[in-house]
Homo-oligomer: A and B are copies of this chain.
Amino acid sequence: MAFKTREGYYADLRAMRKNVYKNGHAIEDLVTDPATMRLVENEAYLYDALQDPEFDPILKETSSLTGNEIVRWISLNTEPDKLKKSVEMKRFAFDHVGTCMAGICVGHNIMNVLWSVTYDIDKAKGTEYHKRLEKWIIETESKCYKVAGALTDAKGDRSKSAGQQDNPDASVHIKEIRPDGIVVSGAKVMIAHAAVCQEIFVGTGTGYKEADKDYAVSFVVPRDIEGLTIIQTDASEGREGWDDMKYGDQSSYLIFEDCFIPNERVFMCGEYEFSGSVIDRFVGNYRACIGSCVAGQGDVMTGAAVLMARANGLPMKKFKDKLINMTRISETVWGLGLGSIYAGYMHESGVWFADPTIACVNKIYAAENYAELRRLLQDIGGGIAETGCFPNYKDCMDPVLGPKIMKAISANPEVTPENRARAARLGEWYARAGGLLAFVHGGGSPDGCKLVINRNTPYEKYAQYAADIAGIDQTIKDPQ
């Protein structure tokens, strides 16, 4: 099979309807517009890498459905080792662009989750969602599409459920069921990289009750479907020259307004009893993957710290303990990601899921320690790499000011001032959260993780172990 190239990806983007907005207007060309070019560059990288056979073991897989060689990010995790390779692919991606490549992550996870949930629904209700999904996967795997995953609704007033909101569009929901499909409306917010993917896979982001039935919906749409408005977030304008990185991260607000979805692309339609399974299975795999994102960024941040130390004229050994601590964070999230997969389970539909407890422990660790990775990088980098403490590129290039600045920042004579500036900006980029935007809430909030951990911990069993060891001869119940 011929795998899509960077040019093919550009062509896909340029062929779509112009429904991505920023700064008050629709973006004409996502590939070149300063508001989205860094995002496109992220996702384009893997299309380049697909052409290099060296990376085949990590990027390609044999389809369990067709036997064809396909991109890993549209494959089913039919064995634990496939899920393991999927997280390896994500670390690889972060290592090379230094930031999120959401088009191979969330959509891939949600597709695997729906594989299992459609199986369960069909079994219980006699529906045929599973077949529909299989058909979509087979069609899509040959196209090498990037598929964004959309689980986060705007939600509205947090003290009320979706069905109780004054504004029904605070979450995506079914407005009408027609013979040939459904009509949906509502907001999905903070969807990473949706603007530059070819398709968007929508799933439920929480467990719904009967009163929220209309919100129990899952489907997949082309990014430019009629009725969908996409608004890019991030008020930061692109900086010039080395002041910014080649790559970037950005989320979208998706506003669905009376979008029609044909039945063959609908995978859940009102079966609220199964909405909880979607999110439960999703978080296991997704939070396992968090390990790869944070480890991949940790790799780059560690490398950036090494560069800064050297550019400042100091050997690595002076920062040995701090560098080891950076590795400790990266390898902890990585190890917990792998551990959660290894402790996982096979669903009856034939896909593997990570253990949710270890995965959630990992997510909280990542949310708490990503900040520490950034702090260590700043600590090693020195004042020149602190946020907002470096003159801008334009002044560095100015014929009068530039030489003064370059002279002032000359340090290790083996390193050009320009390269010291570039390393400092990389450090600052991470310090400003350039690498991973939503590091606390992305993949679900730490508090949400704690609920999962709490629900899964067998406290009564542990209390019995303790009672046996201490020789306690009664069952001690929880006081009312």
Contacts and interface: CB of A to CB of B under 8 A. Distances in A.
Given A24-B398, A338-B339, 10 more contacts: A24-B394, A157-B411, A158-B412, A187-B407, A234-B389, A323-B457, A338-B338, A386-B438, A387-B432, A423-B466
Nearest to A344: B338
Interface string A450-480: 1001100101011111111111111011111
A251 B388 contact: yes
Contact of A422 (B249, B379, B470): B470
Given A335-B336, A471-B422, A231 B405 contact: yes
B245 A469 contact: yes
A465 B98 CA distance: 8
Interface string A432-448: 11000111111001110
Nearest to A301: B466
B23 A395 contact: yes
Interface in A342-380: 342-343, 355, 357-358, 361-362, 364-365, 367-368, 371-372, 374-375, 378-379
A320 B169 contact: no
A: interface residue count bin = 35 or more
A435 B478 CA distance: 26
Given A98-B469, A189-B408, A236 B477 contact: no
A414 B479 contact: yes
Contacts of A371: 371-372, 374-375
B357 A304 contact: no
Contact of A160 (B157, B313, B450): B313
A218 B303 CA distance: 38
Contact of A469 (B338, B341, B426): B426
A263 interface: no
Contacts of A303: 459, 461-467
B327 A390 contact: no
A107 interface: no
Interface in A384-437: 384, 386-395, 397-398, 401, 404-405, 407-416, 419, 422-423, 425-426, 431-433, 437
Interface stretch (A53-61, A128-136, A148-156, A272-280): A148-156
A142 interface: no
* Copies per assembly: 4
A134 B405 CA distance: 35
A108 B432 CA distance: 30
Contact of A394 (B23, B245, B300, B392): B23
A34 interface: no
A188 to B, nearest CB: 9
The 9 closest A-B pairs by CB, nearest first: A303-B462, A303-B466, A335-B339, A339-B339, A338-B339, A187-B408, A235-B392, A387-B433, A335-B358
A223 B450 CA distance: 48
A21 interface: yes
Interface in A247-270: 247, 249-251, 253, 255
Interface string A316-343: 1000110110011001101111111111
Contacts of A355: 335
A121 interface: no
Given A21-B401, A474-B419, A300 B462 contact: yes
Max count, chain B CB within 10 A of own CB: residue among A312, A412, A453, A479: A479
A129 to B, nearest CB: 28
Contact of A235 (B311, B361, B390): B390
Given A379-B445, A398-B24, A472 B422 contact: yes
Contacts of A22: 392, 395
11 contacts: A21-B395, A155-B411, A158-B312, A187-B404, A189-B384, A231-B391, A233-B388, A233-B389, A234-B389, A246-B469, A332-B361
Interface in A115-172: 152, 154-160, 166-167, 169-170
Residue in A250, A466, A474, A478 whose Cβ sees the most chain B Cβ within 10 Å: A466
Contacts of A232: 391
A242 B411 contact: no
B453 A404 contact: no
A231 B439 CA distance: 33
Contact of A467 (B97, B307, B407, B450): B307
